[in-house]
Chains A and B, each alone.
Chain A
Amino acid sequence: MKPPRLFLKIFLWFWTTLVLSALSVAVTVLVSHPVTRTQWHRHWIAGLIASALVCYLLARHLTLPVMRLRHAARQLAEGNLHSRALGTNRRDELGDLVRDFNVMASRIEELVSRQRQLIYDISHELRSPLARLNVALDLARERKGDDPSFGQMQHDFERLNDMITRLLTIAQLDGAVKPIEMSVVDLSELVAQIVHDAGFEARHRGVTVNLSVEPVCPVIGNAELLSSAIENVVRNAIHYTDLGTIVEVALKSEHLTRRVSLSVRDCGPGVPDSELTRIFLPFYRTAEARDRKSGGAGLGLAIVDRVIRSHGGSAGAINLVPHGLEVRISLPTLPPESADQKQLYRDDRYLIEPLDKPRGRDSEK
Chain B
Amino acid sequence: MDCVLIVDDDLELCALLRERLSTENFITDAVHDGPAGVQKALSQDYSLVVLDLMLPGMGGLDVLRAIRMRSSVPVLILTARGEDVERILGLEIGADDYLPKPFNPRELIARIRAILRRAGRCSFAGEPLAFEDIRLDRAAREVQIGGSPLAMTNAEFAVLDILLQNIGHVVTREQLTEAVLGRKLGPFDRVIDVHVSNIRKKLASRQGANHIKAVRGSGYIFVSRAEAR
Residues on A facing B (Cβ under 8 Å): 124, 127-128, 130-136, 138-139, 142, 157, 161, 165, 168-169, 172, 178, 181, 223-224, 227, 349-355, 357-358
Contacts and interface: CB of A to CB of B under 8 A. Distances in A.
6 contacts: A138-B20, A138-B104, A157-B102, A168-B82, A351-B214, A353-B214
A227 B188 contact: yes
Given A128-B10, A131-B101, A227-B187, A355 B216 contact: yes
Interface in B156-196: 187-188, 190, 193-194, 196
Contacts of A357: 215, 221
A169 B83 CA distance: 10
A130 B82 contact: no
B80 A355 contact: no
A131 B214 contact: no
B221 A355 contact: yes
B216 A139 contact: no
A-B pairs with lowest CB-CB distance, top 9: A131-B102, A351-B214, A350-B193, A135-B16, A138-B105, A354-B216, A224-B188, A130-B102, A134-B102
A134 B84 CA distance: 22
A232 B116 CA distance: 38
Contact of B13 (A128, A168, A181, A358): A128
Interface of B: 10, 12-13, 16-17, 19-20, 23, 80-82, 84-85, 101-106, 187-188, 190, 193-194, 196-197, 213-216, 221
Contacts of A138: 20, 104-106
Given A131-B103, A134-B105, A227-B188, A172 B82 contact: yes
Most buried by A among B20, B101, B105, B188: B105
Nearest to B216: A354
Contacts of A352: 214, 216
Contacts of A127: 80-81, 101-102
A161 B17 CA distance: 19
A169 B215 contact: no
Contact of A135 (B84, B105, B216): B105
